[in-house]
């Protein structure tokens, strides 16, 4: 279905039912029944969300998903003493506090940028290997 054109009709009108339109994502194999659904999904790719969680900085396209997520933060008992954000676990708080202090667990061997999670470092290294390394010494 990835070859479908946006809004392509893939069904036909049967009785009172409308034809089925397909709105494929240009970045992944997912398809949607409406352009609104596709627009919400595209926020996952762009990172430009309508709703943001202040506690964990996660983004949401749909308000009901945001509200459901926020309910999970009730009872969070680990506050940051620098910015008052609250966390569910001590590890989550420690990861967050390293953003304030600059003390990270993992560092990029190419540019020395710090990360808390190895998965973040791995993604960064892919970019670092592609981008030319420039410094005052090598131009």
Residue 64 lies in a domain: yes
Residue 139 lies in a domain: no
4-49 per-position pLDDT tens digit: 444 554 444 445 555 567 899 999 999 988 888 898 888 888 888 8
Total domains in the fold of the chain: 2
Indicate whether 59 and 87 sit together in one domain: yes
Domain of 86, in residue numbers:
51-101
82-128 per-position pLDDT tens digit: 998 888 777 888 888 888 998 888 999 989 999 888 888 998 988 88
Please report the pLDDT score of residue 2 as a whole number: 44
Please report the pLDDT score of residue 26 as a whole number: 93
Please report the pLDDT score of residue 85 as a whole number: 87
Please report the pLDDT score of residue 137 as a whole number: 54
Residue 16 lies in a domain: yes
Residue 108 lies in a domain: no
CATH of the domain at 81: 3.30.160.60
Burial class of residue 46 (count of CB atoms within 10 Å of its CB; 0-12, 13-18, 19+)? exposed
56/45 Cα distance (integer angstroms)? 19
């Amino acid at each position: 279905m990835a070859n479908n054109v946006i809004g392509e009709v893939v069904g036909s009108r049967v009785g009172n039912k409308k034809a089925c339109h397909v709105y494929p994502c240009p970045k992944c194999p997912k398809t949607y029944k409406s352009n609104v659904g596709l627009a919400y999904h595209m926020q996952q790719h762009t990172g430009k969300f309508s709703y943001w969680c202040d506690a964990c900085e996660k983004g949401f396209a749909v308000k009901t998903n945001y509200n459901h997520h926020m309910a999970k933060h009730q009872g969070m008992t680990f506050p940051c003493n620098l910015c008052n954000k609250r966390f569910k676990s001590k590890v989550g708080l420690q990861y967050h506090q390293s953003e304030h202090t600059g003390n990270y667990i993992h560092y990029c061997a190419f540019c020395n940028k710090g990360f808390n999670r190895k998965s973040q470092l791995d993604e960064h290294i892919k970019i670092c290997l592609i981008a030319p390394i420039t410094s005052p010494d090598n131009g």
